[in-house]
Chain A
């Protein structure tokens, strides 16, 4: 009570944050229980008067399509990560080796630009570039340079994954390199001096000093990206999809959107979403465990 009297101002300061967290983080967490109901949004307070049905909504666990969806979600995300993640490290290394400060600054600033653009814009650019008519840059290039026929790229589900990789890398390569560049500045300059004395050239200094110096940062960032592995990318996939290839390119997050919100199958999609959350959590745990084991860095 004495604490309350002395510090009541501080507790008052905390109230907005606590209320917001309770309402918009804990309440949704709690309302995941609708996965075990036959949810009717109008039955009682918060629809909590709905009928309990146990695990009926989890019947999808025995059906093939769900595993196809899950595997595709993980496959897409790992492949994207595999390409876009090292790209930022390479960019940081390249930027670090530039001797002209002005050039370094300008190219850095330019490389951040796509981070300040929404996925809608990126998808829009993609549509414009790949369009069939004469405004489609890729078709224009292909016909003028290689003399090939014009193609309808956006309806070809075989190039969907490459598109995801290219757009993700294009958008985040520069922004992703900021933290690596920061880590590089922390490396002890004496190491470079000693290496130069011993006759190491730029390649060897890069591979034996800079790159090992980046390992802790890399591990932490990798764990964070693995944690968001199967939840993220909704905006990207949703905007790059179209009805022709929707069924072949859905991931769990877009699927729950179409089924749950457009189709109003609340309980069913919550069950799918819950399963997604479970898989994410397991992935985070595994990543964290291996991160701790291999380099002594972890986030939880």
Chain B
């Protein structure tokens, strides 16, 4: 125990000394280094531009009147501003239901998945548990060999998961990789904490609820985020196992509008049912409808992501050390 503060002091010193050469660099930057710096920053700025401009371009066009957009190129700013394209997107009954399905699966699916993984991770963190190695191997083997597209499909059909909301939640709930990351985190908790609770007469269940769950909050936040992202972006499950319109998820609706070109059918359908204005100028062309739909499906996650950034970077690190 006594060695620890000493080590800490040493590492502190290390970081201190490592700052010094950097400071030196700043004092005598040669022309070569200056050029290097300028090139480096230019390249990174270019990368940021290439990353952001596609979104900006689509956003701009999605706020432009469709017929006007077809007349000539638009680069940075809407030429003929309108909200009507979004009006159509939000009145699209398919999008509305897809929002509910996607949010529902993201919440329920993530919670279920985290429960399953946390329970397993806790049990597998106990090195004294008889049969632990065998169970670990049993859970690990599917990382390396797995069924094919069709054999998965056949199993889903036979389990009655076709056109069933549960297909979004149950099959993907357990991930060995993420479970190991959680387990690594649990193993870092000092053993004394659990031991003293044991002496006080707490069983595994109490330890799990009263100690492990509260202490694991940071890693659980990271996992929750990864899981929600996974649910939000998942397109394959819908494509393979669901063909009932009321169970479509957002990504699939986006696929229908943007890639399968069903946009104009939807416009006609909505006009027919009279839920949206049908004035000539207010009707979006399929092109701008694509853009506004793309924005509505894509942006929510991009707004959430910065808030979770510090969690998932940490989560990735824990995983990386293990790997």
Interface residues of A (CB under 8 A from B): 3, 7, 9-11, 13-14, 16-18, 20-21, 23-29, 31-32, 34, 39, 41, 46-47, 91, 94-95, 97-99, 103, 106-107, 109-114, 116-121, 123-125, 127-129, 131, 133-135, 137, 140, 144, 170, 173-174, 178-179, 182-183, 189-190, 192-193, 196, 201-203, 217, 220, 227, 234-235, 238-239, 253, 256-257, 260-261, 266, 269-270, 273-274, 276-277, 281, 284, 299-300
Contact = CB atoms under 8 A, between A and B. Distances in A.
B71 interface: yes
Interface of B is mostly: helix
Given A20-B173, A24-B155, A128-B290, A121 B130 contact: no
B271 interface: no
5 contacts: A20-B116, A29-B142, A134-B74, A202-B33, A270-B148
A46 B26 CA distance: 70
Nearest to A129: B54
A17 B117 contact: yes
Give 7 nearest A-B pairs by CB, closest first.
A28-B147, A273-B148, A189-B18, A25-B142, A17-B120, A124-B258, A140-B73
A128 to B, nearest CB: 6
B269 interface: no
Given A29-B151, A274-B148, A284-B144, A17 B119 contact: yes
Contacts of B229: 116
B140 to A, nearest CB: 10
A113 B49 CA distance: 12
A128 B302 contact: no
Contacts of A120: 235, 251-252, 254-255, 258-259, 297
A19 to B, nearest CB: 9
A239 B155 contact: no
Nearest to B153: A261
B236 A256 contact: no
Contacts of A29: 142, 145-147, 151
B141 to A, nearest CB: 8
A125 B58 contact: yes
Contacts, number: 290
Interface stretch (B37-45, B93-101, B189-197, B272-280): B37-45
B50 interface: yes
A23 B159 contact: yes
Given A125-B294, A261-B150, A16 B43 contact: no
Nearest to B204: A9
B235 A235 contact: yes
A124 B293 CA distance: 10
Given A14-B120, A91-B47, A202-B36, A234 B144 contact: no
A265 B153 CA distance: 12
Contacts of B172: 24
A239 to B, nearest CB: 6
Nearest to B304: A116
Contacts of B5: none
Contacts of B130: 3, 7
B14 interface: yes
A300 B149 CA distance: 25
A256 B149 contact: yes
A133 to B, nearest CB: 6
Given A3-B129, A128-B294, 5 more contacts: A13-B119, A24-B174, A95-B44, A112-B309, A116-B301
Interface residues of B, number: 110
Interface string B190-221: 00000000000001110010000000000000
B151 A128 contact: no
Contacts of B142: 21, 25-26, 29
A13 B146 CA distance: 24
A113 B254 CA distance: 19
A85 to B, nearest CB: 17
B146 A277 contact: yes
Nearest to A265: B150
Nearest to B119: A13
B2 interface: no
A270 B51 contact: no
Contact of A10 (B154, B204, B309): B204
A39 B151 CA distance: 11
A46 to B, nearest CB: 5
B258 A270 contact: no
A134 B69 contact: yes
Interface string B271-299: 00000000000000001101100100110
A47 B159 CA distance: 12
Contacts of A129: 54, 57
A277 B145 contact: yes
Contacts of A26: 142
Contacts of A202: 33, 36
Interface in B129-144: 129-131, 135, 138-139, 142, 144
B123 A13 contact: yes
Contacts of A110: 47-48, 51-52
Contacts of A25: 142, 146-147
B154 A41 contact: yes
A170 B135 contact: no
A13 B122 contact: yes
A194 B72 CA distance: 60
Contacts of A116: 229, 233, 301-302, 305
A106 to B, nearest CB: 8
A125 B54 contact: yes
A270 B140 CA distance: 23
